[in-house]
């Protein structure tokens, strides 16, 4: 299985008064991981894709396992569990520098087309090129 892996340092902007990552910041970190995966591995950068398409999250499951603290470096991993016609189910895992699991979960993303009026959004199958790139990260 191939993983898409990125590291992120926990910064002051991520933490709450207790000095740990405030849970919505983890979701922003996850979104950044997805965005980086689309740009770096799938060659579909959001700034281009969102002119006429999108990849919204339609389901998200997260388990918070351990607090992350200011100054820690997190390793974020993403892989594909299921690849469907116009959607995919990805697994994700964040670990700290001691290889302890901080959070893990699943996210379902849907490939959509957006009409020029920006009011109509409908699912659209992945093209063959994108499907092949996504399949590289498919769990066997």
Averaged pLDDT for residues 41-60:
94
C-alpha 10/C-alpha 16 separation (Å) is 12
For 65-79, what is each residue's pLDDT tens digit? 999 999 999 999 999
pLDDT at 117 over 90: no
Note down the domain range covering 42. 4-136
Q: Hey, is 89 helix, strand or coil?
A: strand
pLDDT of 121 reads 93
Q: At 30, which CATH number?
A: 3.10.129.10
Domains: count for the chain = 1
Length of the chain: 140
pLDDT band at residue 119 under the 50/70/90 scheme: confident
C-alpha 56/C-alpha 40 separation (Å) is 18
C-alpha 113/C-alpha 56 separation (Å) is 11
**Strands across the sheet with 53-54, in order?**
53-54, 112-114, 121-123
- CB of 112 closer than 8 Å to CB of 88: no
pLDDT of 42 reads 97
pLDDT at 90 over 80: yes
C-alpha 90/C-alpha 41 separation (Å) is 14
């Amino acid at each position: 299985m191939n993983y898409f892996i990125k590291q992120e340092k926990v910064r002051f902007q991520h933490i709450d008064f207790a000095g740990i990552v405030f849970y919505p910041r983890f979701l922003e970190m996850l979104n950044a991981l997805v965005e980086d995966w689309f740009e770096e591995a799938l060659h579909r950068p959001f700034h281009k894709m969102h002119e006429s398409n999108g990849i919204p999250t339609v389901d998200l499951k997260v388990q918070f396992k351990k607090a992350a603290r200011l100054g820690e470096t997190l390793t974020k991993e993403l892989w594909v569990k299921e690849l469907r016609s116009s959607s995919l189910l990805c697994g994700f895992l964040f670990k700290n520098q001691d290889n302890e699991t901080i959070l893990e979960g699943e996210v379902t993303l849907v490939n959509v087309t957006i009409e020029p009026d920006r009011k109509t959004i409908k699912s659209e199958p992945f093209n063959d090129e994108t499907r092949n790139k996504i399949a590289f990260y498919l769990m066997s």
